[in-house]
Structure 1
Amino acid sequence: MNRPEHEAAKRDPRFTVMSVSGLLALGLGAAAVLLPSPYVVESPGPTFNTIGEFNAEPLITVEGRQTYPTDGALDLTTVFVAGGPGQQISIFDAFRAWADPAQAVTPRELVYPPDISEADIEQQNAEAMTSSQESAVAAALGHLGIEYEETLSVVGFAPDSAAEGILEEGDRLARINGMEIEALQPLKDALNAAAGDSVDITVTRDGETVVETVEPVQGESGDYQLGVFLMSEFQFPFDVDIALNNVGGPSAGLMFALGIVDTLTEGPLTGGEHFAGTGTIDSAGNVGPIGGIRQKLVGAQEAGAEVFLAPAANCEEVVGHIPDGLRVIRVETLGDAVTAVRTLGEENDDAARLPSCED
């Protein structure tokens, strides 16, 4: 007796193979969406106008010193990071980011140590932000010729440090070869002037004055160094408050300093124009490199900025990745940045000669 054709079809092995393949495809697709990936995605974050308002309050407030009205915008730029500890992303998210030129995909192990936690990262970013704000105030006051006090303390040692075993953590630096150490830059200048010869470092240690002799070593930059990590403590002649608590890291230092300079200087520094930028800053006003420069360029352009101030050390990453309509100016110091903003704000003949990352 012949069996029905539909019964034979149910038992066709090709049907079974197709069913299994379909289930496998669905399973792999679900895994791609749900399973975490070992990558971090960086994308353009929000911008904040340092001479504007945040949560209906001035982002920068000065008490105890004459301030002046500002105009235009001096935006600090940020990067949104997804995929770090406590916030893993899927393989699908990583592939989608790879297809977007405004985003960057990086192996997590190259960004975060394997044993770091989300709480550790938040604490580090908060500390870096506090330090950058204090350095920004110091740099701005130094640029304006306003005196303040800076105390340097040893908080650690670099690999192959010249001072390890001689200086100690907690030492407060007081003098170098008899000259008072009033700030970081004079210390650097004195070390370079010694050109590798031994220097006498006077420190305060456990309440006592101690003099130690250290032979500085020359670093890759050519500068002579003690090989110590220093923490600066400042005493300013008036109060400067920066009301931005939801952004971490040190890269806003330059734009904070510019905002403070504009607030303390008569006449709008920007000429009413829209600027953005990024960069770390030390108390001497030196601008350092940051991460995520390409994403910050995109964020600045999307926020309406026409000029971007970029650290000179980041210029290689900038070339070929400048969004349409955005001009990028290369800066190495706070003085460079102030000159660029004022020159472009005034639209004088020097504007065309400002250095760019493409020079």
Structure 2
Amino acid sequence: MLVTALLLGVLVLLPVPYAISSPGPTRDVLGTHDDTPLIQIEGAETFDSTGELRLTTVSGTGGPGFPSSAVGVIQGWLSRWAVVQPVELLYPPDRTQDEIDESNTAEMVSSQENAAVAALTELGYEVPATLVVAGAVEGTDAEGKVEEADVIVALDGVAVPNYQGLIAQLDEVEPGETVTLTVRRHGQAVDVPIVTGKKADGRAQIGVFIDPSFDMPVDVTIDIDDIGGPSAGTMFALGIIDKLTPEDEANGQDIAGTGTIDVTGEVGPIGGIRQKLAGATRDGATWFLAPAANCDEVVGHVPDGLRVVRIETLHDAREAITAIGAGTAEDLPTCR
């Protein structure tokens, strides 16, 4: 009997080939972590807030160096908020933990820069950028025409001072039209005719990878080193806006959310939305900002006491937290 019990105990603790995703910790981007403000701003006046804006995370096991146990898998199957999947669906067998950590860190750094640019642009700041070509998208007309290290300076003869300007000009172009991209190459201006392609959303694209270098008018530092990935971008951007405006947007409310952000302020989908909803409720949030592209995963999975607002842009999110703080949020869009 004792031997059987010992064997069962060993089997229960043995690693199993499953990955478990569960609600992770949340962080108030307007608060501090280890006595250090998560968001620090220099070069502009900042203002205090009485509310909380929580980024949300997912905790997981099953990756390299962090195996799941049989007990954990059983608990995951029994939990409403955990997801159990074959490990290879989340963690490719040829990737090490160091490689995963490095990728997550790079995505977090990029999301912080995007958040700062989007937030400052939303507030009316000019954020000049040097648009350096990092390569061309395979199969597009730009392939073989642009070169790495080219600097984009104009489109159809109109100067492009920043990334948002380039996107705005392309929005006026129909896919399939030919545009003239002027680049600075080895100190000389070169005109490059490019037949535009079509993005998934129907807009025109030039098929060029761009590595922008931004000239930030305000110095924004985000100090958080224990969370990776790009999904906190929208909440970082809202935190920057809240700190730089005299209005107390959240006004005592506990608002959580998630979503990637690009420099144009577009909010993108993320993974683990159901776990993030649960983590937000656990930590006291009563409102949650969810990317519109995640709405199909939200419906039917909202914890009691939590109200979800659907957002597509940073401007949507800013208006939402202002309405929530003002007590006028009844008509905000939700996931249906």
TM-score bracket for this pair, using the shorter chain length: over 0.9
Which string of whole-angstrom CA distances, capped at 9 and with x for unpartnered residues, describes residues 248-277 of structure 1? Answer: 111111111111111010031111111010
Q: Is 2:200 the partner of 1:213?
A: no
Change (3 A) 1:147 1:80: same
Which string of whole-angstrom CA distances, capped at 9 and with x for unpartnered residues, describes residues 153-173 of structure 1? Answer: 233444533322222233322
SS of aligned partner of 1:194: coil
CA distance in 1, matches of 2:169, 2:113: 24
Deviates more, 1:233-242 or 1:323-332: 233-242
Aligned amino acid, residue 261 of structure 1: I
The TM-score normalised by the length of structure 1 is 0.87
The TM-score normalised by the length of structure 2 is 0.93
State the shift of 1:296 in Å: 0.5
SS of aligned partner of 2:227: coil
State the shift of 1:307 in Å: 0.3
Aligned amino acid, residue 166 of structure 1: K
Quote the residue 1:88 is aligned against: 67
Residue of structure 2 aligned with 1:267, choices 247, 253, 262: 247
State the shift of 1:352 in Å: 1.3
Deviates more, 1:106-115 or 1:122-131: 106-115
Aligned amino acid, residue 222 of structure 2: I
Q: Is 2:66 the partner of 1:66?
A: no
Quote the residue 1:9 is aligned against: none
Quote the residue 2:181 is aligned against: 201
Identity %: 46
Which string of whole-angstrom CA distances, capped at 9 and with x for unpartnered residues, describes residues 26-85 of structure 1? Answer: 767744531431x22111111111111111122111111111121110011111121112
State the shift of 1:207 in Å: 4.0
SS of aligned partner of 1:163: coil
Q: Where does 1:164-243 land on structure 2 (aligned, <5 Å)? A: 164-195=143-174, 196-243=176-223
Q: Is 2:328 the partner of 1:356?
A: no
Aligned amino acid, residue 252 of structure 2: G
Instruction: Give the count of matched residue pairs.
Output: 335
CA distance in 2, matches of 1:40, 1:154: 38
Larger radius of gyration: 1
CA distance in 1, matches of 2:187, 2:80: 56
Aligned amino acid, residue 183 of structure 1: N
What RMSD in Å do the two structures reach over aligned CA positions? 2.1
Aligned amino acid, residue 332 of structure 2: L
State the shift of 1:206 in Å: 4.0
Q: Is 2:109 the partner of 1:106?
A: no
Q: Where does 1:307-346 land on structure 2 (aligned, <5 Å)? A: 307-346=287-326
Structure 2: unaligned runs, 5 residues or longer: none
State the shift of 1:110 in Å: 2.5
CA distance in 1, matches of 2:209, 2:301: 34
State the shift of 1:287 in Å: 0.6
Change (3 A) 1:229 1:107: farther
Quote the residue 1:3 is aligned against: none
Q: Assess if the C-alpha contact under 8 Å between 2:127 and 2:162 holds in 1.
A: no
Structure 1: unaligned runs, 5 residues or longer: 1-18
Quote the residue 1:42 is aligned against: 21
CA distance in 1, matches of 2:19, 2:223: 29
Q: Assess if the C-alpha contact under 8 Å between 2:30 and 2:49 holds in 1.
A: yes
SS of aligned partner of 1:75: strand
